[in-house]
């Protein structure tokens, strides 16, 4: 497939699919039509589940309850309050969006299986409410929901209802895909892969988590309205745990990280389930087994099949070359601001963990335009120091000033917006994002709450995307990463991964760059390139603080060096002064034996993971 | 994933939508298969059984299918109706209303003459609109007031309503036995709520109120709080409105808490599942209002039970008997009307007077055909007629 | 007062059941770092197997329980072997995989034993004890006793035996443990089959209290899982305390809110988890950050 063809292939394929979908009713019987109608409800629901679980990584087991909120609200408002169907529909979507936010609240505190059980519990609470409340039919459900009126179109026909669903579904899927492929989706996926790193790039994790649950609630509500209009009866049994697990199976089988996969999974499983209605226990056995086999052998689901095949083919044809391009130095800043003002100022910073003092009264001043080295034996508190500065840890005592602002207690994403960026000792790259997407995520400096623009002004989002992409291309070229732009970093050699992380941190052109052992695992040539890059970064006006074990690199690069031992600053000065300091020599000799090998070991251990 | 491409996609897709919308306005699709039966006068007559065969209510579904199948097999053995064989198809609704509507569409499009089931009111109500517009008569085992309230001419009940069950029960317990201190424990499900309302209405009619009115959930395990409260009010009898298993657990726990008063309830409290869950000793003395007390009641029920035993190697029980009656009524109506379908078949069912296992069926406008139950008492693990 | 005492007794017996379920969750999590959503379905299989042995084969209750534990232990080995490629890698995928296994086990039970379910007679049928006006069924005391013994035995196993300590090392750092020469695969297989055996123990004990059917795992599993989380996931005493808390919470909310008790129970649970995400005793593995 050539690049030119690819550009046209996608809209073409969409059009063909839509035309097929449009003419399906002309060739099916009324039973098949009804099955397709219910399958489409599940497809809309599955898009929501895909967004919250597959894209944002939130284990949400309340999606079927969102469907229930939408359907029940429509039913109650139309039959009890005698509201028109469409007015009820709007309120129903708002209600399930609100419930989505409420169910999402625990995600601010807990994740993973904790979130799973809490959301499952809340959906049981909902089920309990509709079973009891007389307004919800006291367990017998609510019959007599009116047919949605639509001009002269009679929506009581399953055939015509299909078109309503098709339009809503197409819009829903298109919006979902739009979200996934633009800045909000990249941030959500970045959060899913590594919330710490995503936060350090400026994304507000709480806002993102709530946004994902809001989306899940909206899709659930829309599906619920469609359900109410189609079945025109709601009862508690529809929103049971076993249907939640069925939805989960749909999303996993289809491929949770791809919205198309979720849709395919929902359609296929709905239809197969109904075809096997005489053999339902066997079909239960079947889809349970398929879920198990899928998670073990095909974790990306059906949606992952094409890319897996592609990868196999690429393997057999030898693949692309894997050499880094040349770094193109930054233009030197107009005014070299070396030594002018204080950029980072730590005063008496102390960090205690349950009886262990990791940092003890650390004071440190970094001037603008400096390259500061932080050295010290393992366990001396260097990374803890970075975590305090970058907001991952809340210091137990002391003050940190960044550009004159007190920053203790600020979240990493706020600090990122103030102009701070960092890399991590053990490479926190996003497992399922391409190199280009890494840079696009990092380039996006808009506050996370700007996600409302997706609803009110999607064209603005689309427009901004153009600029981001242009910037990303520049950055890819500058860091010599253009040949790997569409590769997943973890499939690349270690040196390139390091380069990606550096490029990601430099995306927003920060005032202060914190580098945590950037040379670990690099070979001699790569280290030389690193020194050149860091130098250029400083010349461009970014102040650099660097933790490094490679003393020759520190000596050649850093203007000043601070030495930590057992959480305290034991020396601070020019590299040559520090190297001659007897206290420093003692601190190092005492531990030197254990130090060096661990530094070398780490990349090897990480390397073994990439074959997974 | 270029920006321009996405916007182009949006444009292309939306223009296609507009074109297609315009196209559809001209000719709307509809069902052209038109397979409603009746035309072919030698093909088998298709009857559907729709019930949960998996999930929590599958026991009911299994019993109903056995009862319905027994009736069909007996008629087929006698040569069918007007020389046509009867085909019985089983559909699993999983107790899920959505699946129910899918099955309803299937029945409508595949020319089924009538439908037996379901045992879950929610599923029956969900299926009703589709079945009504397809004019397929439906003999349901549900007894929710909603089914009756709909006045759907195609829906018939194969048993009495909660009102009939509880009127008979109240008459016996309160009027005959003079037990006026009645405590109530019901669950909040569709069945339990129906029983709760029906029995409470009977008490009110007599100017009584329950000593306590305890509501539990359908999946509750520990009933200490509700039962201790009941015990404190020292009732003469405890009305129980809950399905077999939960009722059994309630009675078992009640006995261990020292509640000695007898329990009284409707059909579920006469079943072997209830008695074995509670333990035969604990269930002893339970007063049951049921149209089908045991297999020994009449000559008709004896021969039904024998045939059931021969076919399935199991003892017949109420739900099988209900389905057997319902199916027999449909088959009789088919015979009387010379295999009519749709509205005519529904009318034929309404016109059928049928002497069944449960009693005399004669349907009224709401689809209820039987208005009497009998009172039974659980004695040494068996339900026997009250003397 | 009588209502209060009796509700307390009911809640405590229910708590013992949840505690037994939670112990299995906790053990597997502590030793493998895996959340096993199929646990309650293994429990259901255990209940069926044990009741089959006592009712059809007329084996003594204790023998039937042991036999059920052996059989579910084997099922545990199969599940562990299937999911082994994911161990130490993708946590959420494993969780979904166990949900898949739960669905499979439920379908299998329906095929083998039918959907109807069965009532199981209580192996201990002596009259209840009376204390301050509250009555305590003797069988409930057996369940409470077994829960306490299981808690002590598991604690001793994990803290005092070499194998137990090695197993915990696996959950804390998969790579380091295998580098240190621990046979990670075998350690996990053993942990998982012990967890499955515990499920059978719980199932066999719960059977006579409830009704054995293919779908019995559902609500017991969710409440047991909630108990494990409340106590601090992976903590053995925490599982027992969590079980008691959930048991009391359900019983008292049933007493006060009647039909709405589930709503109240799960809302309170959600709030408790938000206030103290690591539970009463704190999570017993290293954070996965």
In a domain, C280, yes or no: no
In a domain, A383, yes or no: yes
Cis peptide before B118 (omega within 30 of 0): yes
Compute the mean pLDDT over every residue in chain B, rounded to the nearest whole number. 87
CA angle A597, A599, A602 (to 5 degrees): 105
Contact list, C106 vs chain A (CB under 8 Å): 284, 288
**All residues at 6 or more sequence positions from A251 whose CB lies less than 8 Å from its CB, including other chains:** A46, A49, A50, A53, A54, A261, A262, A265, A266, A301
Which candidate from C3, C218, C256 shows the least CB-CB separation from B232?
C3
Which candidate from B102, B103, B144 shows the least CB-CB separation from A140?
B144
Distances (CA, A) of A53 to A40, A60, A138: 19, 6, 32
Structure tokens at B344: 């005519």
Q: What is the structure's pLDDT at B21?
A: 58
In a domain, C124, yes or no: no
A406 touches chain C (CB under 8 A): no
Whether residue A433 contacts residue A190, with contact meaning beta carbons closer than 8 Å, is answered with yes
In eight-state DSSP terms, residue A257 is T
Whether residue C285 contacts residue C172, with contact meaning beta carbons closer than 8 Å, is answered with yes
Identify the H or E element spanning A561: strand A560-565
Structural domains counted in chain A: 2
Q: Does residue A596 carry a pLDDT above 60?
A: no
Rounded CA gap, C7 and B227, in Å? Answer: 9
Whether residue B240 contacts residue B263, with contact meaning beta carbons closer than 8 Å, is answered with yes
Rounded CA gap, B90 and B72, in Å? Answer: 13
Query: Which of A290-304, A536-550, A595-609, B80-94 is predicted with the least confidence, judged by mean pLDDT?
Result: A595-609
Are the Cβ atoms of B121 and A140 closer than 8 angstroms? Answer: yes
3-state secondary structure A90-112: HHHHHHHHHHHHHHHHHHHCCCH
A462 touches chain B (CB under 8 A): yes
- For residue C3, the distance in angstroms to the closest alpha carbon of chain B comes to 5
**All residues at 6 or more sequence positions from B269 whose CB lies less than 8 Å from its CB, including other chains:** B240, B244, B247, B263, B283, B286, B288, B378
In a domain, C122, yes or no: no
* Nearest Cα to Cα of residue B239 among B273, B279, B201: B201
Identify the H or E element spanning A49: helix A30-49
Rounded CA gap, B136 and B122, in Å? Answer: 18
Q: Does residue A15 carry a pLDDT above 90?
A: no
User: Would the CATH topology of B39-160+297-372 be identical to that of B163-290?
Assistant: yes
CATH architecture observed for domain B163-290 = 3-Layer(aba) Sandwich (3.40)
Structure tokens at B323: 């389905």
Instruction: Give the CATH number for residue A374.
Output: 3.40.50.300
Which candidate from C11, C13, C261 shows the least CB-CB separation from B217?
C261
pLDDT digits (tens, 9 = 90+) for B266-283: 988 988 889 988 989 999
Distances (CA, A) of A465 to A27, A411, A484, C45, C256: 41, 26, 21, 54, 56
Whether residue C66 contacts residue C127, with contact meaning beta carbons closer than 8 Å, is answered with no
**Of the spans A71-75, A377-381, B116-120, which averages the highest pLDDT?**
A71-75
In a domain, C36, yes or no: yes
Rounded CA gap, A608 and B345, in Å? Answer: 72
pTM of the model: 0.88
In a domain, A480, yes or no: yes
Q: What is the structure's pLDDT at B284?
A: 92
* Nearest Cα to Cα of residue B315 among B246, B263, B367, B381: B381
Instruction: Give the CATH number for residue C204.
Output: 1.10.3470
Are the Cβ atoms of A295 and C226 closer than 8 angstroms? Answer: no
* Nearest Cα to Cα of residue B239 among B179, B199, B184: B184
A578 touches chain C (CB under 8 A): no
Are the Cβ atoms of A237 and B96 closer than 8 angstroms? Answer: yes
- Number of Cβ pairs closer than 8 Å across A and C? 136
Are the Cβ atoms of B101 and A38 closer than 8 angstroms? Answer: yes
The residue range of the domain holding C148 is 2-114+131-275
Interface with chain C: mutation pick from B62, B64, B215, B221, highest number of C CBs within 10 Å: B221
Q: How far apart are the first and last CA of chain B?
A: 82
- For residue A63, the distance in angstroms to the closest alpha carbon of chain C comes to 15
Interface with chain C: mutation pick from B225, B241, B249, B271, highest number of C CBs within 10 Å: B225
In a domain, A424, yes or no: yes
Name the domain boundary from A222, A244, A266. A244
State whether CATH 3.40.50.2300 applies to domain B39-160+297-372.
Answer: yes
Q: What is the structure's pLDDT at B167?
A: 93
Whether residue B24 contacts residue A159, with contact meaning beta carbons closer than 8 Å, is answered with no
Name the domain boundary from A180, A211, A244. A244
In eight-state DSSP terms, residue B140 is E
Q: How far apart are the first and last CA of chain A?
A: 28
**Nearest residue of chain A to residue C37 (CA atoms):** A113
The residue range of the domain holding A546 is 342-601
Q: Give the confidence band of A263 by pLDDT, cuts at 50, 70, 90.
A: very high
Which candidate from C92, C102, C103 shows the least CB-CB separation from A112?
C92
Which candidate from A249, A296, A609 shows the least CB-CB separation from C86?
A296
- Which has more confidence, A545 or C131? A545
**All residues at 6 or more sequence positions from A577 whose CB lies less than 8 Å from its CB, including other chains:** A571
Q: What is the structure's pLDDT at C91?
A: 75
Name the domain boundary from A207, A225, A244. A244
Structural domains counted in chain C: 1
Q: How far apart are the first and last CA of chain C?
A: 49
* Nearest Cα to Cα of residue B290 among B263, B333, B322, B316: B322
Q: What is the structure's pLDDT at C288?
A: 36
Rounded CA gap, A429 and A503, in Å? Answer: 11
Are the Cβ atoms of B222 and C14 closer than 8 angstroms? Answer: yes
Q: What is the structure's pLDDT at B20?
A: 58
**All residues at 6 or more sequence positions from B287 whose CB lies less than 8 Å from its CB, including other chains:** B169, B172, B173, B237, B262, B263, B264, B265, B375, B376, B377, B386
Q: What is the structure's pLDDT at C88?
A: 67
* Nearest Cα to Cα of residue A145 among A134, A156, A154: A156
Q: What is the structure's pLDDT at B6?
A: 53
Q: Where are the domains of chain B?
A: 39-160+297-372, 163-290
Structure tokens at A527: 């280290």
Q: Does residue B77 carry a pLDDT above 90?
A: yes
Q: Give the confidence band of B140 by pLDDT, cuts at 50, 70, 90.
A: very high
Q: Specify which residues A350 forms β-bridges with.
A: A397
- For residue A378, the distance in angstroms to the closest alpha carbon of chain C comes to 18
Whether residues A434 and A567 share a domain: the answer is: yes
Q: Give the confidence band of A338 by pLDDT, cuts at 50, 70, 90.
A: low
pLDDT digits (tens, 9 = 90+) for A282-293: 888 888 898 899
Distances (CA, A) of B91 to B58, B63, B88, B326, B346: 12, 14, 10, 17, 22
The dihedral sign for the CA sequence A108, A109, A113, A119: negative
- For residue B209, the distance in angstroms to the closest alpha carbon of chain C comes to 19
Q: What is the structure's pLDDT at A606?
A: 31
In a domain, A227, yes or no: yes
Q: What is the mean pLDDT of residues A413-433?
A: 90
In a domain, A253, yes or no: no
């Amino acid at each position: 497939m050539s690049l030119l063809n690819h550009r046209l292939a996608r809209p073409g394929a969409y059009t063909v699919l839509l035309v097929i979908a449009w003419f399906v009713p002309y060739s099916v019987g009324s039973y098949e039509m009804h099955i397709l109608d219910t399958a489409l409800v599940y497809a809309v629901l599955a898009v929501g589940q895909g967004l919250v679980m597959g894209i944002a990584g939130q284990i949400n087991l309340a999606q079927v309850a969102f469907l229930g909120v939408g359907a029940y609200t429509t039913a109650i408002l139309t039959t009890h309050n005698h509201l028109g169907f469409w007015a009820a529909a709007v309120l129903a979507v708002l209600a399930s969006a609100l419930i989505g936010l409420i169910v999402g609240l625990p995600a601010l505190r807990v994740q993973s299986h904790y979130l799973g059980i809490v959301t499952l519990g809340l959906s049981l609470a909902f089920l309990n409410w509709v079973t009891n409340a007389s307004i919800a039919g006291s367990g017998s459900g609510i019959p007599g929901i009116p047919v949605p009126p639509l001009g002269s179109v009679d929506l009581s026909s399953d055939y015509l209802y299909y078109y309503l669903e098709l339009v809503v579904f197409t819009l829903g899927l298109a919006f979902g895909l739009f979200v996934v492929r633009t800045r909000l989706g990249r941030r959500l996926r970045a959060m899913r892969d590594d919330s710490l790193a995503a936060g350090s790039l400026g994304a507000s994790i709480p806002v993102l988590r709530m946004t994902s649950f809001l989306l899940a609630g909206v899709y659930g509500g829309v599906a619920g309205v469609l359900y109410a209009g189609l079945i025109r009866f709601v009862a508690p049994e529809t929103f049971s745990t076993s249907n939640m697990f069925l939805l989960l199976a749909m999303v996993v089988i289809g491929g949770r990280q791809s919205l198309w996969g979720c849709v395919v999974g929902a359609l296929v499983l709905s239809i197969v389930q109904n075809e096997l209605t005489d053999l339902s226990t066997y079909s239960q056995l079947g889809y349970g087994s398929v879920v198990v086999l899928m998670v073990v052998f095909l974790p990306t689901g059906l949606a992952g099949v094409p890319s897996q095949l592609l990868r196999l083919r690429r393997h057999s044809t030898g693949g692309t070359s894997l050499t880094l391009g040349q770094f193109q130095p930054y233009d030197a800043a107009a005014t070299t601001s070396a030594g002018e003002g204080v950029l980072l100022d730590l005063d008496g910073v102390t960090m205690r963990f349950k009886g262990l003092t990791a940092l003890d009264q650390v004071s440190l001043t970094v001037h603008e335009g400096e390259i500061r080295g932080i050295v010290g034996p393992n366990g001396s508190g260097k990374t803890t120091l970075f975590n305090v500065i970058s907001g991952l840890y809340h210091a137990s005592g002391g003050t940190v000033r960044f550009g004159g602002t007190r920053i203790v207690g600020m979240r990493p994403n706020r600090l990122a917006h103030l102009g701070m960026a960092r890399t991590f000792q053990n490479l926190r790259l996003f497992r399922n994002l391409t190199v280009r997407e890494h840079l696009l995520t990092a380039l996006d400096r808009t506050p996370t709450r700007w996600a409302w623009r997706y609803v009110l002004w999607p064209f603005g989002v689309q427009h901004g995307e153009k600029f981001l992409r242009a910037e990303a291309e520049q950055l890819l070229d500058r860091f010599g990463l253009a040949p790997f732009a569409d590769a997943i970093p973890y499939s690349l050699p270690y040196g390139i991964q390091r380069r990606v992380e550096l490029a990601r941190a430099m995306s927003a052109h920060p005032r202060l760059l914190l580098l945590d052992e950037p040379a670990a695992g690099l070979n001699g040539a790569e280290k030389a390139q690193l020194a050149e890059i860091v130098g250029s970064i400083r010349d461009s006006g970014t102040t650099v603080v660097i933790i490094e074990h490679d003393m020759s690199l520190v000596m050649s690069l850093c203007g000043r060096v601070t030495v930590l031992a057992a959480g305290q600053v034991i020396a601070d000065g020019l590299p040559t002064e520090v190297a001659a300091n007897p206290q420093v020599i003692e601190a190092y000799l005492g531990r030197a034996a254990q130090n060096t090998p661990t530094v070398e070991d780490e990349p090897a251990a990480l390397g073994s993971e990439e074959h997974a | 994933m270029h920006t321009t491409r996405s916007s182009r996609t949006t444009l292309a897709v939306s223009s296609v939508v507009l074109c297609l919308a315009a196209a559809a306005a001209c000719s709307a699709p509809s069902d052209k298969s038109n397979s409603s039966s009746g035309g072919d006068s030698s093909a088998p007559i298709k009857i559907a059984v729709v019930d949960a065969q998996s999930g929590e209510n599958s026991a009911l579904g299994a019993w109903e299918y056995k009862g319905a199948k027994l009736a069909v097999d007996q008629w087929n053995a006698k040569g069918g109706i007007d020389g046509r064989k009867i085909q019985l198809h089983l559909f699993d609704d999983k107790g899920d209303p959505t699946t129910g509507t899918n099955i309803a569409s299937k029945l409508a499009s595949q020319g089924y003459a009538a439908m037996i089931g379901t045992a879950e009111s929610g599923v029956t109500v969900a299926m009703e609109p589709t079945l009504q517009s397809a004019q397929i008569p439906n003999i349901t085992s549900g007894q929710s007031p909603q089914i009756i309230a709909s006045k759907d001419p195609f829906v018939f009940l194969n048993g009495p309503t909660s009102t009939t069950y509880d009127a008979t029960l109240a008459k016996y317990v309160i009027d005959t036995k003079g037990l006026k201190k009645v405590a109530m424990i019901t669950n909040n499900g569709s069945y339990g709520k129906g029983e709760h309302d029906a029995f409470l209405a009977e008490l009110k009619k007599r100017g009584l109120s329950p000593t306590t009115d305890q509501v539990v959930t359908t999946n509750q395990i520990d009933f200490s709080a509700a039962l201790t409260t009941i015990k404190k009010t020292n009732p003469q009898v405890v009305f129980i409105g809950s399905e077999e298993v939960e009722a059994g657990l309630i009675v078992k726990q009640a006995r261990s808490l020292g509640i000695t008063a007898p329990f009284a309830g409707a059909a579920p409290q006469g079943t072997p599942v209830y008695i074995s869950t509670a333990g035969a000793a604990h269930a002893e003395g339970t007063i049951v209002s049921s149209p089908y007390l045991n297999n020994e009641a009449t000559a008709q029920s004896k021969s039904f039970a024998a045939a059931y035993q021969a076919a399935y190697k199991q003892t017949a029980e109420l739900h099988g008997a209900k389905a057997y009656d319902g199916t027999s009524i449909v088959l009789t109506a088919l015979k009387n009307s010379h295999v009519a379908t749709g509205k005519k078949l529904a009318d034929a069912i309404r016109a059928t007077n049928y002497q069944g296992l449960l009693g005399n069926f004669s349907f009224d406008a709401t689809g209820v055909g039987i208005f009497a139950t009998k009172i039974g008492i659980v004695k040494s693990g068996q339900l026997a007629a009250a003397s | 007062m009588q209502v209060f005492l009796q509700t307390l007794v009911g809640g405590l017996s229910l708590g013992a059941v949840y505690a037994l379920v939670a112990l299995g969750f906790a053990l597997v999590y502590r030793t493998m770092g895996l959340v096993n959503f199929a646990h309650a379905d293994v429990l259901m299989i255990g209940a069926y197997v044990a009741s089959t042995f006592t009712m059809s084969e007329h084996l003594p209750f204790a023998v039937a329980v042991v036999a059920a534990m052996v059989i579910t232990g084997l099922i545990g080995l199969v599940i562990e072997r299937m999911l082994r490629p994911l161990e130490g890698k993708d946590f959420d995928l494993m969780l979904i995989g166990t949900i898949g296994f739960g669905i499979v086990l439920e379908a299998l039970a329906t095929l083998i034993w039918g959907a109807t379910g069965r009532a199981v007679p209580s192996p201990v049928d002596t009259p209840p004890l009376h204390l301050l006006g509250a009555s305590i069924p003797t069988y409930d005391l057996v369940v409470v006793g077994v829960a306490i013994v299981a808690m002590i035995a598991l604690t001793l196993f994990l803290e005092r035996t070499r194998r137990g300590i090695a197993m915990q090392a696996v959950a804390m750092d998969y790579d380091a443990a295998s580098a240190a020469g621990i046979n990670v695969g075998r350690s996990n297989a053993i942990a998982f089959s012990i967890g499955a055996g515990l499920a059978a123990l719980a199932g066999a004990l719960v059977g006579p209290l409830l009704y054995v059917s293919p779908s019995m795992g559902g609500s017991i599993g969710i409440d047991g899982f909630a108990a494990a989380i409340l106590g601090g996931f992976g903590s053995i005493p925490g599982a027992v305390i969590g079980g008691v808390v959930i048991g009391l919470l359900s019983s008292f909310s049933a007493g006060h809110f009647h039909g709405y008790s589930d709503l109240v129970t799960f809302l309170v649970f959600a709030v408790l988890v938000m206030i103290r995400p690591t539970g009463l005793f704190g999570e017993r593995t290293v954070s996965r950050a």
